[in-house]
Structure 1
Amino acid sequence: MPRRRQPTARQERLGGELRKLREAAGLKAREAAALVGCDSAQMSQMESGIGGVSEERLRRLAAHYSCADPDLIESLVTMANDRTHGWWEEYRSLLPTSFMDLSELEHHATFRWDVDCLYVPGLLQTEEYARRVFSHRVPELPRGELDLRVAHRMARRTIIDGDRPIPYKAVVHEAALRIKVGNRAVAQAQLDRIQELSEADHVTVRVIPFALDDFIDAGSAMVFAGGPVPKLDTVVRDAPHGSAFVDSEAQLNSFRTLFRRVEASSLEPERSRDFIHRLAKEL
C-alpha cells in the first residue's frame, strides 16, 4: 500500500493498536515483520499509520500476537478497510487537521460524553454562540476562517440531531450557562436550544450548580467518544495547538471514573431542565 503523507488520527490509532498488541505479545518489530513477510520499515509504517495494512495481514498479525478478543479484531479490520470520505473532507486544507480528526472520530463514535465548566459544549451550541466564541480567539481569525469554523461546528451537530443520532450525555457547570457569550438574545437562544435538545430520548443534559457542596472535579473540558469496543474509546482534550487524543487504557479508565463522579454529582435531567428554564427567565 502507498505511504500516506499525513495519516489521520484514526489511521494512527489503528497503527497504535497493532503496536500495543505486538508489545503485549513480547515481540520486536523485526520479529513480527518476519512472521508476515515484510521488513522492519514496513512494520514501522503500519504501526505509525503512515502505511496501510490489509485485512489479511492484520488477521495474521492478530493470530501471531495470540489476540483472544474477536470483537477487537473485527473492529480493527473495519478500521483497516474504512474508505469513508465524510462531509468534513470539504474542509480539509481549509481548517486545522485536528478539526478533521475530531469530525471523523465523532462520525464513527457509538456514544459521546461531554463535560464542560466554562462553555456550552460544542454540540449544543447555536450558530451565533459558536460565532461569538470563535470571534474572541487570540490572535483574531480572518473572517473567512471564522465563517468556516462556525459552519464546521454546526455540521458536527449531525451526530446528535441528524438522521442517525448517537446516545449523548453532557454535564455542564452553571458557570458555563451563566457566562454571557454575546448579548441577551444570544444567551436566551442558547439556553432554549439546550432545553430543546434535552427533550430528545438519546440526549441527556445535566447541570452542576454553584450550590453543590461536594463537587471538586471542575478542572477542564472533556470529550469522551465511545468506540465499537471499550478498548477503542477515545478522550479528546484541548491542547495549545489543537486537540489531544488520549487512548491509553489506564487514562481511559481514569476518565470513565471521572465522568461517573461528575455525573453522580450533577442534578437529575428533569431538575436540570427546570434549572436551565429558571436561568432563561432571569435574563
Structure 2
Amino acid sequence: MKDYFAIEQIYNQPLDELLKGALQAKESSRKNGVQFCQLLNIKSGGCSEDCKYCAQSAHYRTPIAKGALLDEEEIFEEGLKAKKNGATRFCLGAAWRGLSGNEKKTNQICKIIEKIRSLGMELCLSSGFLTEKAALMLKESGLNVYNHNLNTGPGYYPRIATTHRFEDRLNTVKIVQKVGLKLCSGGIIGMGESLKDRLEMLYYLNTLAESPESIPINLFMPIKGTPLYETAAIDYIDLVRIIATARILFPQSRIRLAAGRKLLDEKTLTLCYLAGVNSIFIGEKLLTQSNVQLEKDYALLKKLNLRKEEN
C-alpha cells in the first residue's frame, strides 16, 4: 500500500475496528513473543546537529555531559549484562552527525562490533548519517541492524532540525538497505507535529523497496534545555492509533515501543500491546533518560499472558 490517503483511512477507523485489524496483522506475522532489546549510549553529547528534541545536541544547554567513546571492554561487559537480563538485541547509540568510510571513528566502531559480536545477540547501531562505504564496513565487521529514524514527515522536518534535511535521513535509510543491513527506522510522536506529519512518516517508510525490519515508535520526552521542552503532551490514544496503523502497514516488522514508555500507565501500555507492539527496550536507561524497571515489564507481560521472545 503506497497511497497516503489509504493510510489515513486506516488510522481514522473506529478504534475497535483499527485494533481488530492490528491483531489480525500481528497474527499473520507468526511473531507472538515480545522482543527485548537493550540500548547503550556509547558516546554521549556534543552532537553537531540541532535536532530540537535532543538533549545530546551541542547547540543546547542540557543536563547531558559530553563524553568520549566508551572502551571496548566496557561495552562488552554491558552487553553481557544485557544478555543476562534477557535481551536478544544489543543496540549501540553514538551522538555523532554520522560515519564515513576510513575515518578514525568508523574504524573504532568496527573494532567494537568485531569484539562484541561473540555475545551471540543481534547487534544494532545508531550513529547518524552513513556513506555507502561506511555502511559496508559496518556490515563486514558483523553489524546486523542499523537504526536511522525518519522521525516525522518532510513538511514538519524543518521545524525540528535545520542542520540537515529530511531527504538526508531518507538517503541513509536507502543506503542501509542497499548494502544488505537490516533497517530499523521509525519516528517520534508528540513534538508538536500534525497527524498528517505522523502519517507521512509512515507513508515514506511504506514506499521503501523493503519494509523496515523494525519500526521504533518513540513518545516524545521533554528535556529541559531543548527548544521543544514545553511542548504539550499528546493524547495517548493517538499513540495507540499510530502503533495500530504501523502494525497493519508492516505486518512482518517489529513494532518497538521505545522512548517514553515510562510516561504510560498500565492500561495504556496494555492498549499498545493490543495495537501491535512486539518489541521494547529494557535496561535502567535509554540514551539519556531513565526507563521502566525490568521487574515491571515482566510483571505486566505475565498479567497479559505475553511471552518474552527467546533467541
What is the TM-score of this pair, normalised by structure 2?
Answer: 0.29
What is the TM-score of this pair, normalised by structure 1?
Answer: 0.31
Larger helix fraction of residues: 1
Which structure's CA Rg is the greater one? 1
Structure with higher RCO (Cα < 8 A, 6+ apart): 2
